[in-house]
Amino acid sequence: MAKKNTADVLINGKVYTISGYESTAYLQKVATYLNEMEEKVAVTEGYARLTADEKQLLKNMNLADVYFKADAARESLEKEKEQKDRELYSLKHDLIDAKLEQEKLKLDQDLAAAQDTNQWQQRSAEAMDWFWQVDEAYVRGKYSLCRTLMRHLEDTGDGDPLKNYLPQESATKNGRFSPYHRYEEIYNALH
């Protein structure tokens, strides 16, 4: 349990000993406030003609007025804080939703990229199948067949020629032609 403090304070010209669980500095602050209230009320018109009870009632009413205004301000601040808390909560959820949407978009992009890579690999494999047929026909001197096979690499009907999917770098690193450059060599020789 907290320790009870005692302080001698001067209120309205008289010394009182008061005690409480607050600090002695706080007890002095309360006494100072009461003195300020007395000074404020004492300058009001007609105060000097009031009886002691009426003076005390006037001070009590002023204290009650200050209390109720402070309480109303506190309630207003609490409501404002609650509103801000709700707004913050909503913003946090909006942020979480935005992050989830961003992650979903990233996953969608990664999936699309993976599908593009998969499609590229399939088209490249198909192009290589045609290329080996073209190369074999060319090496065997079957130029008519070679031209027919080349049409499949040049025009697939979808506006995306298979020749574009031929590797442009030599896989053997021996300085020889890549499949794409070998195809170009054969194409130029036959056309």
Gap between the Cα atoms of 92 and 137, Å rounded:
66
The secondary element (H helix, E strand) that includes residue 70 is helix 52-139
- Residue 66: what pLDDT? 95
What is the tens place of the pLDDT at every residue in 62-119?
999 999 999 999 999 999 999 999 999 999 999 999 999 999 999 989 898 888 898 8
Contact 20, 4 (CB under 8 A): yes
Q: What angle do CA 84, 85, 88 make, to 5 degrees?
A: 85
Residue in 39, 125, 174, 106 with CA at minimum distance from that of residue 47: 39
Q: What is the DSSP string of 41-53?
A: HHTSTTGGGS-HH
- Residue 2: what pLDDT? 79
- Residue 178: what pLDDT? 87
Instruction: Give 1's pLDDT tier (boundaries 50, 70, 90).
Output: low
- Residue 171: what pLDDT? 67
The structure tokens listed for 22 are: 């607050």
What is the tens place of the pLDDT at every residue in 7-20?
999 998 999 999 99
What is the tens place of the pLDDT at every residue in 130-187?
999 999 999 999 999 999 999 988 887 778 898 998 988 876 666 677 899 899 999 9
